[in-house]
Structure 1
Amino acid sequence: MSGNDGLAERFERERPRLRAMAYRMLGSGAEADDVVQDAWLRLIRADPGEVNNLAAWLTTVVGRICLDLLRSRASRREEPLDGGVEPRAAADPEGEAVLADSVGSALLVILDTLAPVERLAFVLHDMFAVSFEEIAPIAGRSPAATRQLASRARRRVAAGDTGPGAALADADPSRRRKIVDAFFAAARQGEFATLLALLDPDVVLRADDAAARLGGSGAVRGQEAVARFLSGRARGAVPALIDGTVGAVGRAGERIVVVLELVIIGGRIAAIEVTGDPERLAELDVTPLGE
């Protein structure tokens, strides 16, 4: 592959798309440039037989590098945040400004509140029209699970009119942990008024078939309905990191039987996704947290 004189030219034709893709996933022009350079180095070392479709191959490589960086960033953010998102220097201020204008600074802030795999699925599918079948191997999920990730991210982005300040606060792991802990404590103790205060008026609780069979419900909509449904429940819920974002799990002994993922917007819970399907659970990166 390295002996192909036209390879560099073909790569350069892909570079603007790859950099734009990496920028939207990482929010940093300098990091995006590093990712694209890394992709080039991997390409020239690759076996020619591995690269049947150059554009698709590069999309996969850039997606995986970005996902690793986002997960590393999410892990570092488990330390309490004092000043929100730390600004990153731009290698090319003029180019960075053009990219920022094309994306929108508010959208970048909202994207920064998404879990790494949510951001990957949303950016690749909604911004670059990559199919869920192509995204799934990058995310390590099934196409159906990847579609759900993008859908959840889309709802959060659509509800992001609460403003950059609120979005930054919602991304703070320590703040999210406090909201999650308060929510499940109120659910266990049946504190209806507290549940109402923590739930968005248009909150939606969705459970897959496996979770519903364990005593849940397919879908519950609205602040009061969700508060009534959860009041006195969730006694076994344990806080956990789910794909890098604070949520909760329910256990049977040592086995995790359900995962609860919470979408928090403007300091309130806007959506609750309850998953009990064993195949879907196996795809999630779950780390229980100390109570």
Structure 2
Amino acid sequence: MSEEERTDPATEAFVAHRNLLFTVAYEMLGSAADAEDVLQETWLQWAAVDLGTVHDHRAFLVRITTRQAIRRLRTLGRRRESYVGPWLPEPLLTTPDVAENVELADSVSMAMLLVLETLAPTERAVFVLREVFDMSYTEIAPAVDKSPAAVRQIAHRARAHVAARRPRGAVSAAHAREALGAFHRAVETGDLQSLLDILAPDVVFLGDGGGVKQATLRPIVGVDRVARVLSGGTGWMGGHASAEPAHVNGWPALIIRLDGQVDGVVAVRIDNGLVTGLYYVRNPDKLSHLHRETALDR
């Protein structure tokens, strides 16, 4: 970046809020690649704005980002209808400060992003801006082209929808590590006893290969069926693998490697101390952000 660019007010404002804008777009879309595209579109719009007419740079930038994300989310919804197998969010290798911020970590967890996928685009935008970023109804209204009163109603509806589907019971990072440790041992040895001890009866296993890598094409539901899938050790992953702990989307996860190369990531959902969801992302198009840490911001 040149000296001129560093001193340009529009560039300075955009750079200052970039992590926040990326977080908004990512929570809206569940895709880092699409979030980056939204930021590019946001910058192009922002660069053409007369800053003398903008009283709050942060709010204005969030408004542009939200509108772009809603537009893209509607397009992505149509694409995902033809997606091969289950669709899972794109995992992010996150910085340590994300894990320390419990509210932020919860909001970007794989389990929460899957819950947000069940909301309509405008509902998702309102929920994210209100519940995650604590914006007022008046601030949200122009971002979604609704009145503050309408935004309040949408927020109430979205909050009830999410509350009925989000993980239940407090979950600690230690419990998540324990669950992943059991999963790791089961994968390496084929001994499922340690995993069975913490699997919920209705546990769901989802694999996302995007039609490129081998993965389960349908959700596998129930402790017995999930146990059978895992009982072959590394065979269900298509070959010998190693796993290393990491913080992905703010929570403990396992990065799976084949011959030293990243092959996928495993995350879990825990409800009341038991594993209710196992999420394995293998789609190569979703693994680029596992090679570097991503900074998120509220």
Structure 2 length-normalised TM: 0.47
Bigger relative CO (Cα 8 Å, ≥ 6 apart): 2
- Give 1 or 2: higher helix fraction: 1
